[in-house]
Chain A
């Protein structure tokens, strides 16, 4: 604020000394908001080209018939409501995203505590190692998982065979295939939670824990009454971000199971690809992918509203 006041004063002083009126256009370009807008313009254009235009185009595609020659309005959406597979995909996407996000959050929370308690000079090493699953390109790491889960030559089954267990049809049975795709998603995504929770943990004032210790609080009470309330906003935000990314996941399912067996691991994105690209029904594929939007929008509204409410209570 002080900077602004000083700048304004000096600017008006200069203007006064020259005694020349500042033109409207010049004033406009000197406004902070204008400068900010122009600085953000490249990003805005990038988003418009890569996000807004494709989004609008997919809405347009979703309103066309299969051969893309006729406008059918909501015809594709109403058609999808009549398909058994569509409802299966809705259920699976919810199951996949919610289960994966919950486990990622729990694992991230626990791991963040462990790393937080590691002596400071060794923390970097642990942080680096634990971030590896998140840093490796998912397509590459999922290929490794695919070999581990391979129907015929699974490394896991080879190990289990030594204990006379299995073989387990990791990707051949509905239940196991769902477990496999969720597991890989958790493995790849938990470090994201870990790193954010670790940052949040570091920002919790140490005095609160000291006061709690004086009051005789045990570990659980410290977590429940101090850590969790202090981290509520970051937990909500990470959960929202992760929910969006997990819901829209494509690579893990595509590589690991391609949606099988019997479509039992398809998510919106993979099923949209199956319909749109592999079956040459681009309008229907576009319609399936658009279903993600309202579902995620509702989740975002609830989570952000909660954060806002708490922000208001705090102020």
Chain B
């Protein structure tokens, strides 16, 4: 076999030609030229809501030439929490992961800062509510972006007929669809009187006092309305205050007007209470109403979602956001940020809200005027007040304003509802406070 010898001149010519070809050749962009992106989004309760998110993601992927993989991870059985914990431990997994409330702070060291896109989104969509700032920001640094899907206010969903009949309250007049509320009298006293009247009438309010989030959220909003907090923003224990005592007294009275089994309620119990026709009011996003619309249309026709009653320190409502985050070990952060920005464009958010039947609430102030909430029925306007268009409430989360890592313990271990149940079951007020103080002190470990 003869061996062809490459001359120096030939070698130079070949090298030059190859280099020139590589540099000057037109960049051929394949279908997935910009790489891969995987995401774990919250699996929506509402049938069809995931479909719209998939459609939006695919639309973005086609435009940006990114290969996407979407996993919808359910919160049933806390599967989403387990997934977050596993990916955080393994330092491997999806690029984007949707985290509920406290989890961005719990994983702050492993999250990509989002300041760049949040600045842009705030400039575009307006301010975000205080709860989102509290949960998605560490110091001045954004650690996630608020997600439209799944974010919710757990306000009162009342039966129009029963409140009129037993408590002489017209909730449609107090919170009319399309015009500002006339709800100056909607305060804690009125609320308690209504609870008592409905209890006597045989259709009590159904506000859970179990250890799951619906129960804790209501207790937390009422506590803030009384001006109470178990731990302040600086991390000082503030259990033994008059505001906390007033709140415990309030809850003791309220519990006497509710079904005796509320300490055992979970997040589905209040829904069942409303849909069964037994209850005059529950605290829930419109999912219970949506189920009633399907299973008990006559009851759905009588439902009206509206803001909380006003306490000594104002009107507070629980806002539970989901937060989209990007792991700092993600290999494609720029694509992840691009997608998250796309999902928070007005048209994307509007489609997601419509697909959820009004359940989803964007956190940005300019995204709260979609027609879905005004148009959903029956009855027409039932969800008009759900996004709180006139800003009558302070959106909050139970256990705030404690530093999030302490607040998460108070929230997850349901310290607030346990306090109410202990006191209601006969434990002396100061003993309950002693117990709560000891619990909270235990949550301070770092």
Contacts and interface: CB of A to CB of B under 8 A. Distances in A.
A153 B259 CA distance: 12
B442 to A, nearest CB: 6
A64 to B, nearest CB: 11
A280 interface: yes
A258 B266 contact: yes
A282 B422 contact: no
Given A152-B278, A278-B78, A261 B413 contact: no
Interface stretch (B24-32, B65-73, B268-276, B316-324): B268-276
Given A151-B264, A152-B259, A261-B264, A277 B82 contact: yes
A151 B269 contact: yes
Interface of A is mostly: loop
Interface in A151-181: 151-153, 167, 169-172, 177
A281 B264 contact: no
Contacts of B212: 258
Nearest to A82: B442
Interface string B217-234: 000000000000000000
A204 to B, nearest CB: 44
B445 A66 contact: yes
A167 B264 CA distance: 14
B368 interface: no
A280 B102 contact: yes
Contacts of B211: 258-261
A31 interface: no
A153 B445 CA distance: 41
A65 B85 CA distance: 16
Contacts of B412: 274, 278-280
Contacts of B386: none
A282 B85 contact: yes
A172 B421 CA distance: 11
A84 B269 CA distance: 29
A79 B443 CA distance: 11
Contact of A67 (B85, B103, B262, B446): B446
Interface string A243-284: 000000000000001111111000000000110111111100
A273 B261 CA distance: 25
A170 B263 CA distance: 11
A314 B107 CA distance: 59
A261 B209 CA distance: 9
Interface residues of A, number: 34
Contacts of B179: none
Contacts of A278: 78, 81, 412
B106 A172 contact: no
Interface string B95-126: 00000001100110100000000000000000
Nearest to B411: A279
A202 interface: no
Contacts of B435: 84
B81 A172 contact: no
B198 to A, nearest CB: 16
A28 B77 CA distance: 51
Contacts of A260: 210-211, 263-264, 414
A32 interface: no
Interface in A273-315: 273-274, 276-282
B276 A153 contact: yes
A84 B438 contact: yes
B413 A274 contact: yes
A151 to B, nearest CB: 4
B441 to A, nearest CB: 10
A83 interface: yes
Nearest to B82: A277
Interface string A3-24: 0000000000000000000000
B139 interface: no
A244 to B, nearest CB: 24
B269 A281 contact: no
Interface string B238-265: 0000000000000000000001111111
B153 to A, nearest CB: 22
B408 interface: yes
Interface in B138-181: none
A262 B422 contact: yes
B409 interface: yes
Contact of A169 (B261, B422, B439): B261
B36 interface: no
B422 A171 contact: no
A84 B435 CA distance: 9
A280 B82 contact: no
Interface string A76-108: 000100111100000000000000000000000
Nearest to A271: B413
Contacts of A177: 264
A152 B263 contact: no
Contacts of A69: 109
A83 B408 contact: no
Interface in B381-429: 405, 408-409, 412-414, 418, 421-422
B106 A261 contact: no
A177 B276 CA distance: 24
Contacts of A257: 264
A172 B260 contact: yes
B99 to A, nearest CB: 10
Given A83-B442, A169-B264, 20 more contacts: A65-B445, A84-B435, A84-B438, A151-B262, A151-B264, A152-B261, A152-B276, A153-B272, A172-B261, A177-B264, A258-B210, A260-B211, A262-B263, A276-B85, A277-B78, A277-B82, A279-B413, A280-B85, A280-B102, A280-B405
Interface of A: 65-67, 69, 79, 82-85, 151-153, 167, 169-172, 177, 257-263, 273-274, 276-282
Interface of B: 78, 81-82, 85, 89, 102-103, 106-107, 109, 210-212, 259-266, 269, 272-273, 276, 278, 405, 408-409, 412-414, 418, 421-422, 435, 438-439, 442, 445-446
19 contacts: A65-B445, A67-B109, A82-B442, A83-B442, A85-B439, A151-B262, A151-B264, A152-B259, A172-B261, A258-B266, A260-B210, A261-B264, A262-B263, A262-B418, A274-B413, A279-B408, A280-B103, A280-B412, A282-B89
- Nearest first, the 3 closest Cβ-Cβ pairs linking A and B are A172-B264, A280-B106, A151-B261
